[in-house]
């Protein structure tokens, strides 16, 4: 595997404690923002001390972890704060498909962070003032929406074909995604979308990396020392029109055999992937309900303790792709996705997050997101298809899942 790396021979890194900076997103001075924010805490970065572009292949996570270990080991690091996210940090987003060449890691020149009452600033390289705001964010205007790879009727047919394959016994579940595109009158500023998403979905992980911006409810993995956490989401319903309707929808979701089956596939896979890596692992016997402003999900929080020293990227390699975004069996589902979706997902539904020099980090699944390229944005939504899936209901669910990013763009 040949990696494309842009970096100095040695990184010079200094982290210092700072007073509470307030809104982390508001401190970002440039549209090309890097961010991972959850309930107002996290890290935000800008500038590039190093960039790594990874080609496709099954060893991409291992290769990334190895190269970062080498770069961080060679760095000169002054980090008296010493909490997860201090020192040098690489933000990253990986292509969904192992064949995808669209995976990038960026080590920013400036990182502003806050965790549990501690705030810090990390500087790599020169000491120019990192908190000026030379380019105030401007909301998108003149939006023009277009269908993506498949119009709605063609996507419903793809769902029907997938259901037929499942009922014939070829696989248990497959996740099919749709895309939409939008054009704006001027280049789209990621910071505007980050502000809107973080304000509207504080329980989600709001992220930005190399033009991929979103707010995912799904924590693929968090590593803090030997401790790891994951949040499995599969099975979804829209929120109700009033409190009574909301309770009824949640109760139907919790009792739904179709959604419970979809969730079981995902939770079982995460357990099976993590068990060989862990000395202890706790997976709940049945899911709970996770309520977001627009959706309710079946959720299973998973916790464990690693049996050996592994980077968070080593754990990501064991987990991706989960049945929540691919299907089961994985290989059969991936082949069906390639056949039926009519598009390359790019980094949609791939891992997105960060890793530091200790191997700590947080990685989510890139859902409820858009890939921004100048004046153009490409939005994504996916649905888990099982034997009882109805194409019309799945299309309605996909429309609901598009709404967070559509609203973030339109205001």
- pLDDT tens, residue by residue, 270-289: 999 999 999 999 999 999 99
Please tell me the distance from the alpha carbon of residue 137 to that of residue 410, in angstroms, as a whole number. Answer: 15
Q: Supply φ then ψ for residue 206, to 5 degrees.
A: -85, 125
Active-site residue, from 2, 173, 261, 262: 173
Residue 210 has pLDDT above 60, yes or no: yes
Nearest in space to 200 (alpha carbons), one of 26, 410, 404: 404
Q: Could you read off the pLDDT of 75-109 as tens digits, one per residue?
A: 999 999 999 999 999 999 999 999 888 899 999 99
Catalytic residue among 2, 152, 218, 394: 218
Q: Cα separation of 101 and 96, whole Å?
A: 10
CATH fold label, 4-128+141-410: Anthranilate synthase (3.60.120)
Q: Which two tokens stand for residue 53?
A: 């572009």
Q: Number of helices (H) and strands (E), helices first, in the chain?
A: 8, 24
Has 173 been annotated as catalytic?
yes
Q: Which two tokens stand for residue 301?
A: 């929080």
Q: What is the per-residue pLDDT across 338-357, written as a single tens digit (0 to 9) for each?
A: 999 999 999 999 999 999 99
Give the predicted TM-score (pTM) of the model: 0.93
Residue whose C-alpha is closest to residue 409's, from 210, 190, 97, 137: 190
What percent of the chain lies above the pLDDT cut of 70?
Answer: 96
Using alpha carbons, list the distances in angstroms from residue 215 to 40, 126, 369: 13, 32, 6
Active site (annotated) includes residue 218: yes
Phi first, then psi: what are they for 257, rounded to 5°? Answer: -65, -40
Tokens of 144: 């023009």
First vs last Cα of the chain: how many Å apart? 42
């Amino acid at each position: 595997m040949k990696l494309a790396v842009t970096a100095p021979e040695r990184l010079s890194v200094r982290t210092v404690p700072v007073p509470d900076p307030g809104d982390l997103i508001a401190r970002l001075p440039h549209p090309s923002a890097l961010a991972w924010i959850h309930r107002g805490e996290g890290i935000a970065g800008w500038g590039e001390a190093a960039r790594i572009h990874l080609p496709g292949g099954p060893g991409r996570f291992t290769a990334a972890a190895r190269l970062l270990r080498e770069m961080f080991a060679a760095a000169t690091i002054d980090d008296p704060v010493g909490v997860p996210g201090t020192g040098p940090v690489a933000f990253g987003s990986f292509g969904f498909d192992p064949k995808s060449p669209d995976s990038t890691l960026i080590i920013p020149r400036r990182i502003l962070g806050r965790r549990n009452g501690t705030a810090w600033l990390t500087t790599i390289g020169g000491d120019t003032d990192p908190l000026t705001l030379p380019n105030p964010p401007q909301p998108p205007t003149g939006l023009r929406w277009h269908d993506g790879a498949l119009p709605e009727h063609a996507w419903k047919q793809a769902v029907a074909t997938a259901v037929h394959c499942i009922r014939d016994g070829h696989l248990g579940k497959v996740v099919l995604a749709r895309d939409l595109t939008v054009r704006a009158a001027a280049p789209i500023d990621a910071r505007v979308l980050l502000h809107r998403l973080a304000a509207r979905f504080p329980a989600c992980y709001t992220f930005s990396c190399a033009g991929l911006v979103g707010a995912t409810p799904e924590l693929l993995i968090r590593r803090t020392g030997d401790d790891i956490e994951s949040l499995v989401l599969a099975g979804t319903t829209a929120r109700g029109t009033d409190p009574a309707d909301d309770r009824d929808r949640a109760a139907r979701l919790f009792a739904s055999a179709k959604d419970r089956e979809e969730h079981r596939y995902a939770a079982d896979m995460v357990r099976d992937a993590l068990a060989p890596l862990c000395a202890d692992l706790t997976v709940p016997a049945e899911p709970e309900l996770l309520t977001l402003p627009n959706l309710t999900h079946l959720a299973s929080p998973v916790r464990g303790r690693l049996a050996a020293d592994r980077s968070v990227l080593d754990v990501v390699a064991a987990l991706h792709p989960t049945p929540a975004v691919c299907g089961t069996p994985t290989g059969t589902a991936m082949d069906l996705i390639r056949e039926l979706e009519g598009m390359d997902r790019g980094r949609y539904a791939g891992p997105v997050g960060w890793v530091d020099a200790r191997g700590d980090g947080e990685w989510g699944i890139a859902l409820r997101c858009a890939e921004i390229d100048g004046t153009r944005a490409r939005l994504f939504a996916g649905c888990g298809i099982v034997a009882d899936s109805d194409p019309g209901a799945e299309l309605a669910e996909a429309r609901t899942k598009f709404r967070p990013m559509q609203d973030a763009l339109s205001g």
